[in-house]
Structure 1
């Protein structure tokens, strides 16, 4: 049966798109991955810890400012006119500019009253809203490429950003010895440059119609505002492990943990690549869903779940060979975190398979509730497990949170949008008879 499922998928646009996205994802992720020997040579564990904390802060700010608004593009792409989409994208950018400005005011007020974030210099805190705005703008472009089924263009755009990022990083870290701030500068330059290129591309492709549409703004906010707790909860899960390690163990431990986390995130090569092909395909199926389509979706989901669990197991064992080969001696302990992180992202990948059902029917408020709940569990689990098990407790808390998110969202999505999870074989047999 599994062979038949894979054979059918092989004849579909889903797998062809996945193959291209997966190749692009490997190249895009491999470039910074092979930068590890350089960074671990030029940065101490403490400096790498500061870099990891700053990257976690970016991960927190981006969903808060962007509110996952790119989902509005995919949601409307297959059922609205080109003019409607052009007007929608302009209003998305208008909201994005507003949220970025609000966040800048919040950050400025915090710093004005003497606030401090993990010994990160103030200038880098002020840069966060700009990074969030440009990264979200990039996501708008990447979402359009996916829905237009242009994976090669998608790959060129994304790999160009990574290449520029790493080129600036190498010059500033290796030649000018700017430490972790040289790496942060690479992220900033690449995000701004590709963000501006993306805006120009939207204009040239007639995907920017400068017309304020209050009805569209209300619709965008009705979908995206309930996702703010979801986005904040996800960001808390991303940020809290490093925060607890920094406070309870030390900044150098954050650096070692971040290396292990990066190896564990090899899983995202597969997860992100498949989701980029899966998401537009799934929304297209749901736009005119039938029982046979539901059966096909469920079979693909089960096949995917089995594959990511096998892949996580492989990553865990291989990491014990790769970590000593690709890092310096102070970072060898990172291998103990890889398995927990890899399985965590395997379950996060399963979560992304069921998340679109709620977006499709506009029931996103539950996502905010469950992600906020999972974030609360994550905070408690980090504190308890780090006290009990040391730094590895943070990775265990991450896995626990993603398992909880997947189970809860799968249960709720099935409740309000029933899928044949337990009897898809019967439906398939009826369809063949």
Structure 2
């Protein structure tokens, strides 16, 4: 019952958090130039790529350690992370000047130093916010988790409108608004954790070494996942043009609505699994039954989605303008059914510290995705990208199941 409630809660939060770009879209397209709008999402991509390097797999490490150790050790884990951020902030400050000169060397003379500071600050704060938010998730503190999500969505929308309209009709105003919101939420979360006495602000070298050893491969896993998610549209644009990209992207975005369920499974399942795994009540047969239940629910939602969702498409999309998107919706939606199952099995490898295998699986899938698209996009069109996404999701699931089965054989207690 707790698993069901947490899954439902995280589903609602995932849906709610996705409204920010949709609400801001008409406002930003009105007040930002086309160039500024393009610059904005280029910077957003850079921030999204930078954040995994700063996180270095900490949220997953934190989730794994939370139920494996006592209260005092948990305080040291969180305290070591927070303490290490002072060093990371110093490191970003040291490299900012040489990075700025490198950017200028490559011909981007109009790139201002303050922009680089803004990118570093936003990436740095995003990483801390994700880590603190994860703490409330794994401790099932849904009140603070939900409150933080609500504040972030409303503050992001409100401040973006205020900053863009009153300060500057520029992409920097939007990024600055996000930075201000995240700064407030990081301070807010730290105050709550301090009041709850949830951390000891000390630097434990052994914990830090364990974190780096565990989390370093997950940097490459996150980068590979980004390549897996974005490369198809970039390659379609390169080989087939922007019109084909636009049609495929609309179909992809609608099919990716199934991702709400897969994300909810990941956020609700992993803390439940880690808690169960480290308790005396852990029962592998019970866990298998839950995974089977989640799989059946994912299939049922998918069947409902393609049965009724496709009939409702004309209400949201001009099908004469975006012809053929239905086939992309069906294939992409199915791939996210497999990602829901992947989300259930990945924690098995995390508790066994098999992060290298997880990174390798995602890297193999991303490389295959790029190669198949390069080989067949020109001759067979965008449908190749959809089938490639599906093939890679199946491949990831097969490889994860292989390593999980191997781990269960070698370590029956897992």
Using structure 2 for the length normalisation, give the TM-score.
Answer: 0.81
Secondary structure of 1:80 counterpart: coil
Name the structure 1 match of 2:408.
417
Name the structure 2 match of 1:89.
78
Alpha-carbon spacing, 1:188–1:340, altered in 2? closer, same or farther (3 Å): farther
Task: Tell me which moved more, 179-188 or 350-359.
Answer: 179-188
Q: Distance in 1 between matches of 2:308 and 2:48?
A: 27
Alpha-carbon spacing, 1:388–1:39, altered in 2? closer, same or farther (3 Å): farther
Mind listing any 5+ residue stretches in structure 1 that lack a counterpart?
1-11, 420-433
Name the structure 2 match of 1:302.
292
Name the structure 2 match of 1:17.
6
Question: Is the CA contact (8 Å cut-off) linking 2:83 and 2:201 kept in structure 1?
Answer: no
- Matching of residue 199 in structure 1 with residue 199 in structure 2: no
Residue 263 of structure 1 deviates from its aligned partner by 2.9
Q: Distance in 1 between matches of 2:361 and 2:177?
A: 35
Name the structure 2 match of 1:165.
156
Task: Tell me which moved more, 144-153 or 327-336.
Answer: 327-336
- Matching of residue 59 in structure 1 with residue 48 in structure 2: yes
Alpha-carbon spacing, 1:43–1:407, altered in 2? closer, same or farther (3 Å): farther
Aligned counterpart for 2:392 among listed residues 384, 387, 401: 401
Question: Is the CA contact (8 Å cut-off) linking 2:43 and 2:119 kept in structure 1?
Answer: no
Residue 192 of structure 1 deviates from its aligned partner by 3.5
Question: Is the CA contact (8 Å cut-off) linking 2:247 and 2:325 kept in structure 1?
Answer: no
Q: Distance in 2 between matches of 1:227 and 1:108?
A: 27
Question: Is the CA contact (8 Å cut-off) linking 1:323 and 1:334 kept in structure 2?
Answer: no
Q: Distance in 2 between matches of 1:361 and 1:158?
A: 31
Using structure 1 for the length normalisation, give the TM-score.
Answer: 0.78
- Matching of residue 236 in structure 1 with residue 227 in structure 2: yes
Q: Distance in 2 between matches of 1:301 and 1:130?
A: 39
Name the structure 2 match of 1:386.
377
Aligned counterpart for 2:142 among listed residues 147, 151, 162: 151
Q: Deviations over 1:121-153 (max 9, x none)?
A: 986565443333222212222222122222232
Superposition map of 1:169-318 within 5 A: 169-171=160-162, 178=169, 184=175, 186-250=177-241, 257-288=248-279, 293-316=283-306
Task: Tell me which moved more, 345-354 or 305-314.
Answer: 305-314
Alpha-carbon spacing, 1:177–1:129, altered in 2? closer, same or farther (3 Å): closer
Secondary structure of 1:226 counterpart: helix
Secondary structure of 2:69 counterpart: coil
Question: Is the CA contact (8 Å cut-off) linking 1:45 and 1:331 kept in structure 2?
Answer: no
Secondary structure of 1:211 counterpart: coil
Task: Tell me which moved more, 33-42 or 227-236.
Answer: 33-42
Q: Deviations over 1:325-365 (max 9, x none)?
A: 45689984694543343333322222111111111122221
Secondary structure of 2:354 counterpart: coil
Residue 298 of structure 1 deviates from its aligned partner by 0.8
Q: Distance in 1 between matches of 2:186 and 2:323?
A: 37
Q: Deviations over 1:107-129 (max 9, x none)?
A: 5464143177xx99986565443
Q: Distance in 1 between matches of 2:213 and 2:354?
A: 10
Alpha-carbon spacing, 1:76–1:387, altered in 2? closer, same or farther (3 Å): same
Q: Distance in 2 between matches of 1:55 and 1:258?
A: 18
Name the structure 1 match of 2:16.
27
Q: Distance in 2 between matches of 1:394 and 1:54?
A: 25
Count of residues in Structure 1 that have an aligned counterpart in Structure 2: 405
Secondary structure of 1:417 counterpart: helix
- Matching of residue 113 in structure 1 with residue 98 in structure 2: no
Superposed CA RMSD in Å reads: 3.8
